[in-house]
């Protein structure tokens, strides 16, 4: 298992370790640990070794290197890179090579990070299990018969298995936080606009956000501090309060108010998950936090509102994959209309087609007002619920998922059951607020359970501080899965 990303960077800067040696070790770990997991779609060996050599050369020359100097990292394969393919887990982009690097890639490499590979995901990030990837599923390192969550399942599994200490994922409705819960790592969805989306292959443009997966809260904070900030290529990005958490920040929560939403602890919540989350809240109370009950009265509408909006935006965003400009192009088409139909039919998976069709229906004439416009109005009510609740408390504590990781095939034939796997995460995307997940226990079957904390926009520092206090008083984060690097 790696030491922390902070320690790796400190060792490289002090010349106690070589970035090239660390890179080679990460590549070795991929070769050893990844075959049963299938967390990676592609390794980037030549690029990674060249980047690592450049870091070592800068250190030797006495030049400044960044806070991620020599840290091996993985990227979800819907984040564009010039040095490797970017497939979004889809056959339609199986050979796609981006002409530019995403802003987050530019920022982590400027900070000294070494990207060793691209990770698996549900096709176009549409899924909750990484079963929808066109290139095969990723398996959970805690139990190979169970899913790692989705859609950032590959990034979560790579971190959980100890292959890399840090990875980037994207979160449209829980796609960082739910896999973090299922695999026992830290996952952070930043406030909408905190991190540039330039170079992220779009699913739901008003919902998508890039964020870190890590083995510790401090490392997640470090990575967020590197990728956050305004980008001229993304007009929705802004400069928020700088991320201030460091490894030396005192784990103090005294006086903070933690809200418990009564709607998130009702029917459908696994009893082991409920017990683990409530035990975590009780520990925070013992550390000095005050627990108060809050209401999120429109929670029952979360699933319906989210999927109408997300599918409508997916329908619009995926219209660009038409077989004309780039991506898969059917060889059997007789005219332009058949080219569109055949190219998309041949190369898009069943779940993506389902979401495109439902989204197109919701946007169609005669149904726009009844579905999409109504969903936008309900979204505003959900946002107001969180504003009111967070006026009474500093953050909200709740489960990250209703159950621990489920078995392969358990929900794949029932789309609604699969969508309900995100029932506790999608509201944060609708409201645009940050959410942080870290392990808070294990089921009787040895599967991780995650605690989710939510806060007001740009209050990531509060989330990180409180979760750091919880982490400092527990050892859930120190446990290692059976299918990983020792």
> Cα separations (Å) of 89 from 135, 190, 246?
7, 23, 35
Lookup: tokens for 130 = 């990484």
The secondary structure of 366-409 as a DSSP string is TTTIIIIIHHHHHHHHHHHHHHHHHHH-SEEEEESSSSSPPBTT
List CB contacts of 370: < 8 A, sequence separation 6 or more: none
Contact in structure between 386 and 295 (CB atoms under 8 Å): no
Question: In 3D, which of 467, 452, 458, 460 has the Cα closest to residue 260?
Answer: 452
Place of tokens 């139990």: 143
Active-site position among 4, 133, 152, 175 = 175
Active-site position among 18, 129, 133, 151 = 151
Assess whether 118 carries a catalytic annotation.
no
The secondary structure of 32-54 as a DSSP string is HHSTTT--EEEE-HHHHHHHHHH
Task: Return d(Cα 8, Cα 21) in angstroms, integer.
Answer: 11
Assess whether 353 carries a catalytic annotation.
no
Look up residue 423 and give its DSSP letter: T
List CB contacts of 112: < 8 A, sequence separation 6 or more: 9, 12, 19, 55, 65, 66, 67, 68, 69, 70, 71
Neighbour-count burial of 198, counting CB atoms closer than 10 A to its CB (0-12 exposed, 13-18 middle, 19+ buried): buried
What is the CA 255 to chain-centroid distance, rounded?
A: 30
Assess whether 3 carries a catalytic annotation.
no
Active-site position among 76, 118, 189, 411 = 76
Lookup: tokens for 271 = 């009893």
Task: Return d(Cα 113, Cα 168) in angstroms, integer.
Answer: 12
Determine the 3-state secondary structure of 442 from DSSP: strand
Lookup: tokens for 170 = 């994207």
Task: Return d(Cα 115, Cα 73) in angstroms, integer.
Answer: 5
User: Going along 89-232, which residue ranges are E strands?
Assistant: 114-119, 166-170, 186-189, 210-214
Task: Return d(Cα 473, Cα 454) in angstroms, integer.
Answer: 20
User: Catalytic positions, please?
Assistant: 76, 151, 175
């Amino acid at each position: 298992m790696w030491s922390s990303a902070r320690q790796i960077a400190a060792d490289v800067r002090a010349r106690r370790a070589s970035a090239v040696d660390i890179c080679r070790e990460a590549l070795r770990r991929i070769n050893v640990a990844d075959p049963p997991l299938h967390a990676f779609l592609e390794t980037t060996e030549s690029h990674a070794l060249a980047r690592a050599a450049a870091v070592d050369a800068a250190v030797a020359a006495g030049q400044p290197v960044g806070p991620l100097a020599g840290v091996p990292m993985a990227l979800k394969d819907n984040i564009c890179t010039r040095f490797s393919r970017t497939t979004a887990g889809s056959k339609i982009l199986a050979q796609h090579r981006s002409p530019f690097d995403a802003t987050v890639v530019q920022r982590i490499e400027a900070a000294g990070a070494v990207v060793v590979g691209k990770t698996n995901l549900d096709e176009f990030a549409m899924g909750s299990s990484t079963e929808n990837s066109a290139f095969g599923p990723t398996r959970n390192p805690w139990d190979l018969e169970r899913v790692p969550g989705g859609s950032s399942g590959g990034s979560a599994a790579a971190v959980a298995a100890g292959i890399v200490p840090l990875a980037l994922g994207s979160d449209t409705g829980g796609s960082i936080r739910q896999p973090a819960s299922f695999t026992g790592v830290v996952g952070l969805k930043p406030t909408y606009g905190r991190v540039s989306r330039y170079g992220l292959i779009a699913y739901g443009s008003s919902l998508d956000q890039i964020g870190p997966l890590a083995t510790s809260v401090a490392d997640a904070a470090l990575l967020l501090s590197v990728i956050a900030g305004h980008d001229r290529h993304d007009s929705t990005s802004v400069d928020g309060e700088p991320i201030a958490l460091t490894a030396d920040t005192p784990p103090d929560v005294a006086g903070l108010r933690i809200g418990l939403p009564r709607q998130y602890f009702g029917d459908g919540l696994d009893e082991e998950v409920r017990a683990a989350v409530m035990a975590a809240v009780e520990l925070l109370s013992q550390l000095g936090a005050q627990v108060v009950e809050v209401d999120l009265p429109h929670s029952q509408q979360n699933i319906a509102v989210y999927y109408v909006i997300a599918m409508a935006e997916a329908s619009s965003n995926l219209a660009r994959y038409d077989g004309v400009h780039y991506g898969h192009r059917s060889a059997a088409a007789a005219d332009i209309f058949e080219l569109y139909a055949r190219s998309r039919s041949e190369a898009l998976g069943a779940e993506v087609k389902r979401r495109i069709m439902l989204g197109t229906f919701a946007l169609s004439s005669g149904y726009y007002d009844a579905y999409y416009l109504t969903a936008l109005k309900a979204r505003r009510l959900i946002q107001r619920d969180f504003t009111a609740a967070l006026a009474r408390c500093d953050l909200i504590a709740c489960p990250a998922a209703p159950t621990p990781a489920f078995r392969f095939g358990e929900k794949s034939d029932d789309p609604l059951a699969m969508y309900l796997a995100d029932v506790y995460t999608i509201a944060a995307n609708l409201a645009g607020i940050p959410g942080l997940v870290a392990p808070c226990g294990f089921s009787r079957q040895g599967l991780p359970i995650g605690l989710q904390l939510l806060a007001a926009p740009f209050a990531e520092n509060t989330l990180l501080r409180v979760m750091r206090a919880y982490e400092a008083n527990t050892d859930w984060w120190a446990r290692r899965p059976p299918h990983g690097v020792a």
